[in-house]
């Protein structure tokens, strides 16, 4: 399975063009990011629903803090209604820095995620919802229209959240690009699934990868360097150590980002080792090989994430022809 991510910092009608192109190239899913400083995820998905015919439409990902979970359920159910049953729900604990900027407390992400998934399931079932959880409290709320069976994907990074995904989610979206990270992640997902008697193969494992594909390898790598810089600056020390990357480099890259010194990032702070660890980028042949390596170890959905490539339209076509069509 193949997905693609778009950030609604671009005009929505432009994203509709890209999404239709992705659908024509054989992508299964489109994932739209949800941040307060970009265009609203649900209005964006509504436009995409009216511009496409078969591609599935997902939040990639929303969170349980900025909206009441009943409102989230209603919003994604409306997308499911508009699209003729093509909605998918991506939800995760979110980004602490974003919540700090919004003045929202980021409390008990594991418990909040678990109770939110339960609430979504109950709302989608059409029944009256009563949940007296530690973080989610719903008193007799009920959808006034049919929501449908909407798959729920949990955005997860740490071992406990990955285990939770194995327990309760239809799929998991993991911001990673390298087999080393997925070897560890898949074990955690399997442990969670087995804990509740599920077959781990029921869980769709998504590699939400920083992706950049172009016939010119240097252009592809150049397009991905800034994205990789942000990934490195936000990575836990143990993840950097797993890939043999000096932890001190995280501080240097973070300082360059804070100063807006992107020349330093492009000029050497972002190393080849970082690019290999945190992106899939290069020529179609290189990208296809890396995709195949992830699929061999159990990744079941490859998501072509930002930046996609130096030219989105050309890169979407290349991905469709050389990776999806090349199978």
**pLDDT per residue as tens digits for the range 129-146:** 999 999 999 999 999 999
Residue 258 has pLDDT above 70, yes or no: yes
The DSSP string of 45-92 is: HHHHHHH-SS-EEEES-B-SSSS-HHHHHHHHHHHHHHHTS-EEEEE-
Question: Quick one: pLDDT at residue 326?
Answer: 74
- What mean pLDDT comes out for the span 232-259? 91
Residue 119 has pLDDT above 80, yes or no: yes
Question: Quick one: pLDDT at residue 267?
Answer: 85
Which CATH number applies to 2-217+279-324? 3.20.20.30
**pLDDT per residue as tens digits for the range 5-55:** 999 999 999 999 999 999 999 999 999 999 999 999 999 999 999 999 999
Question: Quick one: pLDDT at residue 72?
Answer: 98
Query: What band does 118 get if pLDDT is binned at 50, 70 and 90?
Result: very high
Sign of the torsion angle spanned by Cα atoms 162, 163, 166, 170: negative
* Residue 42 near residue 79, CB atoms below 8 Å: yes
Question: Quick one: pLDDT at residue 65?
Answer: 96
Parallel, antiparallel or unpaired: strands 204-213 and 301-308 = parallel
Residue 316 token pair: 């979407």
Distance CA 105, CA 92 (A): 15
Query: What band does 262 get if pLDDT is binned at 50, 70 and 90?
Result: confident
- The Cα-based distances of 278 to 136, 205, 228, 233, 239 in angstroms read 34, 17, 6, 11, 10
Residue 286 token pair: 């290189």
Give the residue from 279, 280, 255, 282 showing the smallest Cα distance to 269: 255
- For all residues of the chain together, what is the average pLDDT? 95
Give the residue from 144, 145, 138 showing the smallest Cα distance to 118: 138
3-state secondary structure of 130: strand
Domain residue spans in the chain? 2-217+279-324
- The Cα-based distances of 249 to 96, 108, 273 in angstroms read 21, 30, 12
The DSSP string of 186-223 is: HHHHHHHHHHTT--GGGSEEEEEEEEEE-SSHHHHHHH
**pLDDT per residue as tens digits for the range 278-314:** 999 999 999 999 999 999 999 999 999 999 999 999 9
Question: Quick one: pLDDT at residue 35?
Answer: 93
* Residue 136 near residue 120, CB atoms below 8 Å: no
**pLDDT per residue as tens digits for the range 69-90:** 999 999 999 999 999 999 999 9
**pLDDT per residue as tens digits for the range 201-243:** 999 999 999 999 999 999 999 999 999 999 998 888 989 999 9
Burial class (CB in 10 A: 0-12, 13-18, 19+), 201: exposed
Report the phi/psi class of residue 278: left, alpha or beta, with left for phi > 0 and alpha for psi in -120 to 50: alpha
Distance CA 287, CA 290 (A): 5
Q: What percent of the chain has pLDDT over 90?
A: 89
Q: Dihedral through CA 59, CA 65, CA 67, CA 72, nearest 10?
A: 40
Question: Quick one: pLDDT at residue 327?
Answer: 59
Residue 317 has pLDDT above 90, yes or no: yes
- Any idea which residue has 């109770």 for tokens? 115
Residue 259 has pLDDT above 80, yes or no: yes
64: CB partners within 8 A, 6+ apart: 72, 91, 93, 94, 112, 113, 116, 135, 136
């Amino acid at each position: 399975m193949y997905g693609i991510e778009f950030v609604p910092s671009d005009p929505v009608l432009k994203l509709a063009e890209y999404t239709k192109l992705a659908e024509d190239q054989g992508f299964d899913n489109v994932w739209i990011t949800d941040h307060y400083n970009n265009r609203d995820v649900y209005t964006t998905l509504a436009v995409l629903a009216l511009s496409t015919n078969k591609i599935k439409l997902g939040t990639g990902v929303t969170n349980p803090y900025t909206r009441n979970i009943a409102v989230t359920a209603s919003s994604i159910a409306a997308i499911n209604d508009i699209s003729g049953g093509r909605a998918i729900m991506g939800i995760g604990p979110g980004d602490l820095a974003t919540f700090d900027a919004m003045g929202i407390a980021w409390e008990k992400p594991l418990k909040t995620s678990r109770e939110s998934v339960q609430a979504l399931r109950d709302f989608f079932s059409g029944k009256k919802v009563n949940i007296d959880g530690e973080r989610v409290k719903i008193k007799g709320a009920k959808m006034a229209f049919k929501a449908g069976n909407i798959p729920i994907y949990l955005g997860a990074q740490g071992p406990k959240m990955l285990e939770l995904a194995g327990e309760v989610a239809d799929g998991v979206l993991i911001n990673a690009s390298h087999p080393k990270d997925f070897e560890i992640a898949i074990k955690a997902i399997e442990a969670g699934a087995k804990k509740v008697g599920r077959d781990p193969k029921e869980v769709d494992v998504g590699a939400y990868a920083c992706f950049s594909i172009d016939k010119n390898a240097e252009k592809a790598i150049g397009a991905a360097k800034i994205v990789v810089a942000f990934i490195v600056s936000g990575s836990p020390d143990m993840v950097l150590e797993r890939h043999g990357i000096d932890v001190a480099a995280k501080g240097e890259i973070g300082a360059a980002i804070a100063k807006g010194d992107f020349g330093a990032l492009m000029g050497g702070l972002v190393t080849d080792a970082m690019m290999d660890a945190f992106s899939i980028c290069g020529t179609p042949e290189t990208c296809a090989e890396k995709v195949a390596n992830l699929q061999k170890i159990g990744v079941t959905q490859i998501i072509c994430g930002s930046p996609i490539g130096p030219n989105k339209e050309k890169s979407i076509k290349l991905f469709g022809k050389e990776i999806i069509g090349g199978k």
